[in-house]
Structure 1
Amino acid sequence: MSGSPDIPAAGLEAVFNEMRPALIRRAQGMGVGGDAEDVVQDVWLKLQTTTGPVASPHAYLLRMVYTAVLDRKRGARRAAARDAEWSTPANLPQDSVASAEAERRLMAVQLLAKVEARLSDLGDPAAAIFRRHRIDGLTQRRIAEEFGMGLSTVEKHLRRAYAAILDLEGDRP
C-alpha cells in the first residue's frame, strides 16, 4: 500500500467524524444542495456495514460520497421520468385524449352560449356594462363616465349580471 496504514472499520468512523464537514462540502459541490446532509448520512449508514480495514480512509470516504450523490441523482431522474410518464396522457390511446379535449371544448362552447343567452335576456345596459368591465377590463368608474350614470348604478347592473350568470349553475344537470 502507499505508506498509509490500514485503518480498521471501527477507526473509519473516527475519520468520518473528522471529515464530516468536508464530506458535506463535497456533496454540496456536486450539486445536491440542501440534500448534502442526507447524502452524508447515507454514507454513515453504509459505513456501519463496512467490514475489514481500509487502506486510504480519506479517499474511501470521498469516493463513498461521490457514489451516494450519483445514486441520488439517478434516483431523482428515474422518479422524474416515472412521474412524467404517469402524469401525461401518453399512455392513453390518442383517440381518447382527442375525444376528451373535444368534449371539454364542446362543454366550454355550450357554457359560453348559455352565458351569452343569459346576458342577452338581461338586456342593456347590464349586459353591455358587464362586457365592458369583464371583457374589456374597464374600471367601474370609467364605465360610469362612459354610460353617463352613477357608480352605484354601474354596480347594480354588474350585480344583476353576476346573479344571472351564477344562476346558470342551478341549470346544470
Structure 2
Amino acid sequence: MTFANDNMAYLGASPVEQAFLRHRPELLRFLVSRLRCFATAEDAVQEVYVRASGARPPIHDPRALLFQTAANLIRNQARSDGRGRAAFSTYADLIAPPFEAITPERQVLDAEALDRAQTAIQNLPPQCQVVFRLHRFDGLKQREVATHLGISTTAVEKHMRRAMAALVAAVET
C-alpha cells in the first residue's frame, strides 16, 4: 500500500481497508466502551479487520460493515463467555441506547446532522437524487434502479458514490 494524501487514502487499498484505517480510533473507543478492557478491545479491533476484509463485494458502506462486525463479535463473545443477561443487555444497548443516554445535547447534535444530510441530498444533481432515493429509501437494488431509470449499473454506482460522499461530508462537519 502506498500513502496517497493526508486523507489517509492508500493506493491499492480496498474500501474496507481504507475505512478501517480511517475509523480505527472510533472503532477502538466503541469496543473499549462495550468490552471494558483496552487489551481485549485491541484484539477485537484486529479480529474485526480480519473478518470485514473477507467480506464479499459489493460493500455499500464499509464503515457500517466494520461496526456491524464489531457488534456481532461482541454478541458472539457474550454467548461463548456465558455472561448471559448482563452481556446481552450490553449488546442491546448497541442497537437501542437506554433512554437516559439520549441527552438534550445529543438530540440537538443529531437534529443538526439530519438537517445537514437533508440539505446535502437536496443539493445533489436531480438524477443523483433519484438514484439515491430509489436505492436507499425505496429499497431497490442497484440493478433494479438501473433498469427502472434506463441507465447502466455503473452509472447507478457512480451516483451512489457521489451521494454517499456528499452525505459523509455533510454529517462529519
Tell me the TM-score range normalised by the shorter chain: 0.3 to 0.5
TM (normalized to structure 1)?
Answer: 0.39
Between the two structures, name the one with larger relative contact order (CA 8 Å, sep ≥ 6).
1
TM (normalized to structure 2)?
Answer: 0.39
Tell me which structure has the larger Cα radius of gyration.
1
